[in-house]
């Protein structure tokens, strides 16, 4: 009886071993480790290059010929190098905002009058997103830029007296553009459109007429890693359900400003700078992932408010512009 039982156990063991799947040559029977599995891509990286020819809005006589050269000018050209990232399709932001990316840019600008204007370089942050899909590979997009520009040649009574537009070496840079985005190959996209640009110092120095221009734009963007555009078409279909909710925006700000006034049709500048500070509180109702609105409560302190009413004589504290 013991011999029969031992024989039965040996046969059962052989059948068990035979029923196991044979490993592929070089493959271990150990369970795969997390490192051996494909990890979700948290960020998708991009590099881009844009070229933007443009034209100035000639809002000042300086652009119309009242300059050292005695010639009108208004043509501009800028070249931009950009780094961007977008969230992978497995992430929550990637599922809900599959065609949005953001990053930093570096732009070289010329107005073809470097002696009086300079050739400013802008360093900025930007965000690019889709407005509407036109075809499978073509979409209408928008992009905003915000940052600082360096390298201006500002107004100077001795060395640069004609430039009555730019009063500081550093100015804010703001741009908003609309463009067509064509994904012409895997990991490659081509954009073409138009944008508005504004340079200004926010009244921190006078003069501050501001430089405004409209320009065309042609750019190319390269995506690294997985081809995120293919994944994102599927990501739209698996986006998280949206429920309306209320959010709150709170903004605190402060700055210095110059103050001028008009008297008897003449402009005067008060010496010194004046502090400005404020608070902005805005409850926002989120109607969708892409739109929210609300009412704003604002409070502001301006050290220069009503300053003109406190000048003792005609203009003892004012220097003529």
Lowest-confidence region among 25-29, 108-112, 124-128: 25-29
The pLDDT value recorded for residue 228 is: 55
Write down the mean pLDDT value for the chain: 82
| Residues 222-226: contacts with CB under 8 Å, at least 24 apart | 222/46, 222/47, 222/48, 222/187, 222/188, 223/44, 223/45, 223/46, 223/187, 223/188, 223/189, 224/44, 224/45, 224/46, 224/47, 224/187, 225/41, 225/44, 225/45, 226/41, 226/44
Q: What is the Cα–Cα distance from 237 to 306, expressed in whole angstroms?
A: 57
Residue count of the chain:
321
Model confidence at 93, in pLDDT bands (50, 70, 90)? confident
pTM equals 0.75
User: Tokens at residue 293, please?
Assistant: 């609105």
Model confidence at 207, in pLDDT bands (50, 70, 90)? confident
Whether the pLDDT of residue 149 is over 90: the answer is yes
The pLDDT value recorded for residue 265 is: 61
The pLDDT value recorded for residue 20 is: 40
- Kindly give the residue spans of alpha helices, DSSP state H, lying in the chain: 2-19, 92-96, 228-237
The pLDDT value recorded for residue 113 is: 93
Neighbour count for residue 200 (Cβ, 10 Å): 20
Q: Average of pLDDT values for 45-51?
A: 97
The pLDDT value recorded for residue 234 is: 54
Handedness of CA 222, 224, 226, 228 (dihedral sign): negative
The pLDDT value recorded for residue 254 is: 86
pLDDT tens for each residue of 184-196: 998 999 999 999 9
Model confidence at 305, in pLDDT bands (50, 70, 90)? confident
The pLDDT value recorded for residue 191 is: 98
Model confidence at 206, in pLDDT bands (50, 70, 90)? confident
The pLDDT value recorded for residue 24 is: 41
The pLDDT value recorded for residue 279 is: 93
pLDDT tens for each residue of 236-267: 556 678 889 899 999 998 888 777 766 666 66
The pLDDT value recorded for residue 231 is: 57
pLDDT tens for each residue of 261-288: 666 666 667 777 788 899 999 999 998 8
The pLDDT value recorded for residue 5 is: 43
Residue-range domains of the chain with CATH = 43-237 (2.40.160.20), 245-320 (no CATH)
Whether the pLDDT of residue 297 is over 60: the answer is yes
| Residues 58-62: contacts with CB under 8 Å, at least 24 apart | 59/209, 59/210, 59/212, 60/164, 60/165, 60/209, 61/164, 62/116, 62/162, 62/163, 62/164, 62/165
């Amino acid at each position: 009886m013991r011999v029969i039982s031992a024989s039965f156990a040996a046969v059962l063991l052989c059948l068990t071993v035979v029923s196991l799947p044979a490993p592929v040559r070089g493959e271990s029977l150990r369970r795969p480790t997390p490192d051996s599995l494909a990890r979700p891509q948290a960020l998708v990286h991009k590099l881009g290059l844009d070229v933007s020819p443009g034209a100035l809005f000639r809002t000042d006589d300086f652009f119309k010929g009242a300059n050292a050269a005695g010639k009108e000018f208004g043509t501009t050209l800028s070249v931009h190098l950009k780094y961007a990232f977008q969230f992978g399709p497995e992430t929550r932001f990637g599922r809900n905002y599959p065609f949005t990316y953001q990053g930093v840019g570096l732009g070289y600008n010329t107005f073809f009058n470097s002696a009086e204007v300079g050739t400013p370089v802008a360093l900025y942050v930007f965000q690019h997103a889709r407005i509407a899909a036109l075809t499978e590979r073509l979409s209408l997009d928008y992009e905003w830029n915000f940052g600082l520009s360096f390298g201006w040649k500002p107004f100077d009574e001795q060395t640069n007296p004609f430039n009555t537009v730019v009063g500081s070496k550093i100015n804010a840079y703001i741009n908003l553009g609309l463009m067509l985005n064509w994904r012409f190959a895997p990991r490659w996209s081509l954009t073409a459109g138009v944008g508005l640009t504004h340079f200004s110092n926010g009244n921190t120095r006078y003069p501050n007429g501001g430089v405004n221009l409209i320009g065309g734009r042609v750019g190319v963007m390269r995506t690294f890693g997985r081809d995120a555009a293919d994944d994102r078409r599927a990501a739209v279909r698996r986006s998280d359900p949206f429920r309306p909710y209320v959010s709150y925006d709170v903004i605190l700000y402060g700055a210095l400003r110059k103050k001028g006034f008009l008297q008897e049709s003449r402009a005067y500048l008060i010496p010194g700078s004046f502090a400005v500070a404020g608070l902005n509180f805005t409850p926002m109702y989120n109607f969708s992932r892409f739109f929210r609105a609300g009412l704003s409560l604002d409070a502001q302190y301006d050290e220069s408010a009503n300053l003109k009413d406190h000048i003792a004589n005609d203009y003892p504290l004012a220097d003529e512009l």
